Amino acid sequence: MSLQTSRARLSAPGVLFAVLGAAAMLAPFMTLAANRIVAGDAVPIWAVVPVSQTIPGLVAIVAGLALGLPARHVGLRLAGPLVGLAGLLWLLVQGAPALLEGAGDYARVSPAAGFWCLLVIFALLMADAITAMKPGPFQRALLLTAVLGALSVVLGSGALAPLSVMQEFAARRDAFASEAARHLWLAFGSLGMAGLIGFPIGVLSHRKPALRSAILPVLSFLQTIPSLAMFGLMIPLLGWVGATVPGARSIGIAGIGFAPAFVALVLYSLLPVVGNTVAGLAATPPQALNAARGIGMTAAQRLWRVELPIGLPVILTGLRIVLVQNIGLAVIAGLIGGGGFGTFVFQGLNQTATDLILLGALPTVALALTAAIVMDILVDLTRRLPEETP
């Protein structure tokens, strides 16, 4: 009985993450390298800075893991990751300049596996606590704003400037802004184009089952083509268009660059847009459609006033899939000259520079997570019908 009571008082995810966090603290916390391309030497968490500076960070990390254990105190479970993240930040800010002191002009210091594991663990603990709190869409929006604001303050303060990835950013500040804009154009532009093309096709497919039977298998086939192969197929096709169609090259259509990456992302996006449009419109209860017909609504009026408002959450879910997918796939555009954060990823791979890879990978992950959360909030705000309970 006491064992069952003890289990009831402890959060199962909290126990798991506490064990994983303790193991992660034994892994290398930072690395010190002679320059930007060599592997470097691993530094454990207790040797990053002198003991007097290490203790506050270690205490905060251990406290953060411990506060994630209570099952009934959700507030403590949310405070725990915040305390733990503060400890990680403390050790990172204190450790980078301490390790670089006297290491040479070209020395670089970077977070190692232990840091990244602890970062993921605290992020998952925070997500678990927030899920248990069941916040509404507006509360989630406030939480997201607070997280992004805190991240902006930390990055803007220059406290992390000694880290190698931030030095890579400082050396490519203008290029980073340009590639970030290109990445956003690829992800959001392809989403917009897929919406313009896919939504009418989805409406027609909902109205005409024969068209739906013909178009969905084709879009499913496009979705099965590996991303790298799809980008490769666009190169000769758009290269031919640019060489033969008058004026095509002047508007940027060529075998490599932005155009083939953009077209490939649009093709990948059509299945979720069309499929979710069909599913969303089909979710309208027959009683609602009969009532709309009974008061004399035309087919167009039923679409815009009844079917679309009810099916909007499902349609937005398709757009969420597309947006998150395209933010990730846009990285591959860097391989064919399309720009975006993938430019830094592939440059880093060519130069065996891990922190240059991170310069492209980290903002991609942050952008995808932010987009997913924002789209989830929009889906909740547009939900008209209560979810069915089992």
| pLDDT at 8 (0 to 100) | 54
Amino acid at 144: L
Compute the average pLDDT of residues 6-35: 86
How many Å separate Cα 194 from the centre of its chain? 20
Report pLDDT digits (tens) over 329-340.
Answer: 999 888 888 889
Where residue 353 falls among pLDDT bands split at 50, 70, 90?
confident
CATH fold of the domain at 173-382: MetI-like fold (1.10.3720)
Give the pLDDT of residue 251.
Answer: 67
Average pLDDT value for residue range 273-284 = 90
Please say if the pLDDT value at position 34 is more than 90: no
For 191-212, write each residue's pLDDT tens digit: 999 999 999 999 999 888 888 8
- In this predicted structure, what is the pLDDT of residue 384? 52
pTM higher than 0.85, yes or no? yes
In the prediction, which pLDDT does 376 show?
A: 92
pLDDT exceeds 60 at position 358 = yes
Could you tell me if 219 and 275 are in contact, meaning their C-beta atoms sit under 8 angstroms apart? yes
- pLDDT value, residue 3: 44
> What are the residue boundaries of the structural domains of the chain, listed by start?
2-156, 173-382
Give the C-alpha separation, 342 to 334, whole Å. Answer: 4
| pLDDT on residue 273 | 93
**What is the edge-to-edge ordering of all strands in the sheet holding 41-43?**
41-43, 30-33, 108-111
pLDDT of 105 reads 81
* Range 83-102 burial, b when 16+ CB lie within 10 A, else e: bbbbbbbbbbbbbbebbbee
pLDDT in tens, 146-172: 999 999 999 988 889 999 999 999 999
- What local confidence, expressed as pLDDT, does residue 359 receive? 93
- At 360, is the pLDDT very low, low, confident or very high (cuts 50, 70, 90)? very high
